[in-house]
Amino acid sequence: MSFLQIKIYRSKFMAYAIFVVSIGMAIGLLTCAILFVQWVDNARNQAASTFAGVENTLQHNADRIEAYMQRVYLNSGLMADVRYFLGSSAEQYFSARLEASRVDQPMISFPDDVESFLYGGGQGDIIQVSLQTAGKGNVLRFDKNGNTRFKFQVPEDDEMFRSSIDRGFIYQENLSDPNEISRKLGELRFVVGSDRVFGSSINEGISRAALIGMNGDVYPDFSAEEENNELVARALADGRAQGYLSAGGLNGVFFTTFTSAKFEYSFVSWVDLNTMIRERWGTLLSVFLIVLSAMISVLTLIVYNLRDDARFLHHIIQSIGRVKTADFTPETPARYRRNEYGMIAKELEDMVRQLDTHIRTEYLLKLKQQETEMKALQNQINPHFLYNTLEAIRSKALVNRDMETSDAIATLGALYRDMVKHENIITIGKELSLLREYLKIMEFKYPDRFYYQFNVDETLSALPTVKFWMQPLAENFFVHGFNSSNAFNLLMVNGWESETHFHLEIADNGKWIAEERLEHIRSTLSRKDDAPVTSIGLHNVSTRLHFFYGEGFALHVENNEEAGVKVSVTIPKGAAIHVQTSDCG
């Protein structure tokens, strides 16, 4: 990249690159952080939903047990069978039932009633019901298929009655004598299996979770990883409802803890950071690629802008170097952007072209001016000698009392004196004065046969122009159009101002120009080169004025309708701004 060779753009690019990379990394990290927060929030919401499901399931079972206890108290037959079930053995239970049975009444079975009411169709959450009396208990157990097993006289300290979160939740209900409420017959204990509660309540979106009983027992998490027990213990000891537990580096978990208000357990759910990254690496990769693409796009745009700006700066330096070495060779126009660099580069290119045009114009103008003066004064090798000679002739005419000859010689001397002393650039007013002196001389030459008239607005008098261009136009009249046999030969000079131009017109009443000759003159005037031409005076005047006033200048030659020739000069108003009036001699 060539712009890196320029110190200012190299520094800019490095600053831009550091800024873009920093912003890109910040945006990428912020996006990843937002995604992580969203994923953790989703996991927490799923954990909250799971905890609510567990709570609802446990409350539903509690409500069903309460309803069943009311059923026992309201059904005397069922209450009697419950008392029979309190017997010491299965034989005693069935014997008591048979003795109390009546032919006219159906037999009611407590185990069957429990199974149908609390475990209908094998879909219940209750896995065990026991009647506890005097340190022992008779037990009903239900397997996954809904089959019932009995066990009588089980000691209180048996494993079957152990309170543990991995076995389930225990609901205890006192069994009182309906006839004497204060007398306690025993205690009904209902065990809701943990596996069955979680099997119907756990949301599949939770990757890690565990239940913790009040005694600190941990129900195995769903991935059956025993090493997570330490993590669960740390989460409980942390005391916060949610947070982050670090294990060094990226090893850590986000945890959420819920404690049941009605049941004696806590629920802990966590999300492993490494696992989250592995499971969602596609999304993280997409974020990385998007941010990388954005950074590359921005850097590409910066490179494009810096390259163009560097190119413009190169053009600026090159243009300045060309001006310093006077090399004004035109270059192929460059494509510039619409900013300050482009404007400066374009203005410099325009300045070089205008400077080249101005120098060429001034140079050619001075050459043409010198050429004109040389032709007008080619016989005046020593102007002072000519002035002295003319003064001697004038003195001789005065001695002989020839006043007309004396005035003619004085006018001629004044004309040549003005031609020599004035600068190349004069005003229209002074150019008209030179023309008037020339026409006075022609009046002496053709007394009573030549007349001239000036009708020029004052607004044209201060307009800058080149010296001695009107005399050649007037001289063409005396060379080609003047009729010596005509008693009235007239030359008129008119000048006026329009909205956008200044107009000068030199017209006579002499001879017409043949149409073929007129077309040739017009063709000669339209040429801008220095090739030899026949109408030297007209071509010289046209070339000098064209160089001086620029493209807006025009010179036209045409025949008048009645007689004679008219030369029209049109000068654009804006042309004079390139020449200060103070430059005029």
Structural domain that includes position 537: 422-583
pLDDT band at 227 (very low <50, low <70, confident <90, very high): low
Does residue 523 sit within a domain? yes
Q: How many CA atoms lie within 13 A of 162 on its CB side?
A: 9
> Can you tell me the mean pLDDT for 274-281?
82
Q: Is 268 among the domain residues? A: yes
pLDDT confidence of residue 290 = 92
Residue 106's CB is within 10 A of a number of other CB atoms, namely: 8
pLDDT at residue number 565? 93
Percent of the chain scored above 90 by pLDDT? 12
**pLDDT, position 385:** 46
Structure-derived torsion over alpha carbons of residues 126, 130, 132, 135, reported in degrees to the nearest 10: -100
> Which pLDDT score, from 0 to 100, does residue 357 have?
73
CATH number for the domain including 253? 3.30.450.20
Q: Best-predicted range by mean pLDDT among 11-20, 126-135, 408-417, 565-574?
A: 565-574
**Nearest-angstrom CA–CA distance, 202 and 180:** 44
Residue 260 has a pLDDT of 86
Output the pLDDT for position 508: 93
Tell the residue number behind the tokens 């565990």, with chain if given: 210
pLDDT mean across residues, the chain: 79
> Closest by alpha carbon to 78, among 117, 136, 132, 120?
117
Q: Is residue 34 part of a domain?
A: no
182: Cα separation from own chain's centroid: 85
Number of structural domains the chain divides into: 2
Domain boundary among the residues 279, 306, 340 is at 279
Phi, psi of 155, rounded to the nearest 5 degrees: -60, 150
For the chain, the maximum distance between any two Cα atoms, rounded to a whole number of angstroms, is 192
Cα separation of 546 and 553, whole Å?
6
442 falls within a domain: yes
pLDDT given at position 223: 47
Predicted local distance difference test score (pLDDT) of residue 233: 79
427 neighbors 463 (Cβ within 8 angstroms): yes
pLDDT per position as a tens digit, 169-189: 888 888 888 888 788 888 888
Percent of the chain exceeding pLDDT 70 equals 76
Beta bridge partner(s), residue 497? 502
According to the model, what pLDDT value does residue 335 have?
57
Mean pLDDT, residues 261-275: 82
The number of residues in the chain equals 585
Sign of CA pseudo-dihedral 179, 182, 186, 191: positive
Structure token pair of residue 60:
């539903």
What pLDDT is recorded for position 382? 44
**pLDDT at residue 379, as a whole number:** 43
211, 219 in Cβ contact below 8 A? yes
End position of a domain, from candidates 245, 279, 313: 279
pLDDT value of residue 14: 84
**pLDDT score, position 156:** 85
Section 323-330 average pLDDT: 67
Would you state the structure tokens that stand for residue 428, as one six-digit string?
């229209």
Query: The domain that contains 520 carries what CATH number?
Result: 3.30.565.10
Give all strands of the β-sheet with 126-133 in edge-to-edge order: 148-155, 136-142, 126-133, 180-193, 168-177
The conformation of residue 98, written as its DSSP 8-state character, comes to H
Confidence class for position 467, pLDDT limits 50, 70, 90: confident
Alpha helical stretches, state H, 325-453: 340-376, 383-399, 403-421, 428-445
Residue 531 has pLDDT above 60, yes or no: no
Q: Considering only CA atoms, which of 139, 144, 142, 178 is closest in space to residue 160?
A: 139
Note the pLDDT tens digit of each residue in 46-65: 888 888 888 888 888 888 88
* DSSP-based three-state secondary structure for 556: strand
| pLDDT of res. 123 | 59
Nearest to 498 by CA among 444, 573, 442: 573
199 band by pLDDT with thresholds 50, 70 and 90:
low
CB-based contact 213:164 (threshold 8 Å) = yes
pLDDT tens digits, 410-431 = 777 666 666 666 567 889 999 9
Q: Is residue 526 included in any domain, yes or no?
A: yes
Q: Could you please report the per-residue DSSP string of 116-146?
A: HHHSGGG--SEEEEEEEETTEEEEEEE-TT-
If pLDDT is split at 50, 70 and 90, which confidence band does 160 have? confident
Please name the residues in contact with 259: beta carbons below 8 A apart, sequence gap of 6 or more.
266, 267
Q: What is the pLDDT of residue 336?
A: 54
Separation in Å, CA 277 to CA 31, 32, 38, 250, 256: 14, 10, 13, 10, 19
Structure-model confidence comparison of residues 585 and 525, the more confident one: 525
pLDDT at 566 (0 to 100): 94
- Averaged over 376-384, what is the pLDDT? 46
In 3D space, the residue among 298, 293, 246 whose CA is nearest the CA of residue 274 turns out to be: 246
Mean pLDDT of 342-350: 70
- 51: exposed, middle or buried (Cβ count in 10 Å: 0-12, 13-18, 19+): buried
Which of these three, 259, 279, 299, is where a domain ends?
Answer: 279
**Angle 256-259-262 from CA coordinates, rounded to 5°:** 155
pLDDT digits (tens, 9 = 90+) for 470-495: 988 998 888 888 888 888 999 999 99
Q: Map tokens 């008098």 to a residue.
A: 461
Whether 180 is covered by a domain: the verdict is no
In a domain, residue 145? The reply is no
Residue 343 Ramachandran class (φ > 0 left, ψ -120 to 50 alpha, else beta): alpha
Closest CA to 451 of 385, 530, 510: 510
From the number of C-beta atoms within 10 Å of its C-beta (0-12, 13-18, 19+), residue 2 rates as exposed
- Residue 275 within a domain: yes
472 half-sphere exposure, CB direction, 13 A CA radius? 19
